[in-house]
């Protein structure tokens, strides 16, 4: 038996914040704004896993009104979703991620993000894919005001 989940997230690019994508610190003059570390990749992957389990969304579990998640490492959110996945008797089948960013160019870092995601999920890199798209210079992503991320995950029954 398999279950599929999708996640999507967007955060604003602002001065004075580190840029963290999929747990990887990316050198860039601006970073993503948010209550936690604003890791748009880990947020969309966490939502995809919660979605596959029919367990609502990341905001239900970790409300941004709660001060304990201020500047939190988003790995905490992912680890909580993975614990719920294991408790439900499922394992990661594969993960496919698409990042949307006009700036910075993500080609040079997408393999590092893939490696880190595989490590965080505890799966072989062959089960993780990371794609990078620009915003074609239109809309909030194309004007480099934000970075977006979409994730699709397949869960399989653990044996
Ligand atoms: Mg988010």
Q: What is the CA radius of gyration of the chain?
A: 15
152 C-alpha to center of ligand 1: Å? 16
Alpha helices in the chain (DSSP H): 40-52, 58-61, 75-87, 110-121, 139-142
Q: Is 0.85 surpassed by the pTM of this model?
A: yes
Residue 89 above 90 pLDDT? yes
Q: What is the pLDDT of residue 159?
A: 75
Counting residues of the chain whose pLDDT is more than 90, the rounded percentage is 91
DSSP string, 36-70: S---HHHHHHHHHHHHHTT---HHHHS-TT-GGGT
Question: Contact at 8 Å (CB) between 126 and 141?
Answer: no
Q: What is the pLDDT of residue 158?
A: 85
> Confidence class of residue 146 from pLDDT cuts 50, 70 and 90?
very high
Residues with C-beta atoms within 5 A of ion ligand 1: 9, 43
Counting residues of the chain whose pLDDT is more than 70, the rounded percentage is 100
| Residue with the two structure tokens 């969309």 | 44
159 C-alpha to center of ligand 1: Å? 32
> Confidence class of residue 70 from pLDDT cuts 50, 70 and 90?
confident
Helix (DSSP H) and strand (DSSP E) numbers for the chain: 5, 7
82 C-alpha to center of ligand 1: Å? 17
118 C-alpha to center of ligand 1: Å? 20
Residue 64 above 90 pLDDT? no
Residue 33 above 90 pLDDT? yes
120 C-alpha to center of ligand 1: Å? 18
Provide the β-strand partners of residue 129. 96
- Angle at CA of residue 148, ends 146 and 152, nearest 5°: 175
91 C-alpha to center of ligand 1: Å? 23
* Average confidence (pLDDT) over 57-76: 90
Which tokens in the block code for residue 54? 């029919």
Query: Parallel, antiparallel, or unpaired: how do β-strands 128-133 and 90-100 relate?
Result: parallel
148 C-alpha to center of ligand 1: Å? 9
85 C-alpha to center of ligand 1: Å? 20
Q: What is the distance, to the nearest Å, from the Cα of residue 94 to the centroid of all Cα atoms in its chain?
A: 14
DSSP character for 110? H
> Confidence class of residue 63 from pLDDT cuts 50, 70 and 90?
confident
């Amino acid at each position: 038996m398999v279950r599929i989940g999708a996640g999507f997230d967007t955060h604003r690019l602002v001065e004075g914040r580190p840029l963290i994508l999929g747990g990887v610190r990316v050198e860039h003059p601006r970073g993503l704004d948010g209550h936690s570390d604003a890791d748009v990749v880990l947020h969309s992957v966490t939502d995809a896993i919660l979605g596959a389990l029919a367990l609502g969304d990341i905001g239900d579990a970790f409300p941004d009104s709660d001060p304990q998640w201020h500047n939190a490492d988003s790995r905490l959110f992912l680890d909580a979703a993975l614990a719920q996945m294991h408790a439900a008797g499922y394992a990661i089948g594969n993960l496919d991620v698409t990042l949307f960013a006009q700036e910075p160019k993500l080609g040079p870092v997408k393999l590092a993000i893939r490696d880190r995601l595989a490590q965080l999920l505890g799966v072989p890199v062959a089960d993780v894919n990371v794609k990078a798209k620009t915003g074609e210079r239109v809309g909030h992503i194309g004007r480099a005001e934000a970075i977006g991320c979409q994730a699709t995950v397949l869960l399989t029954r653990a044996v």
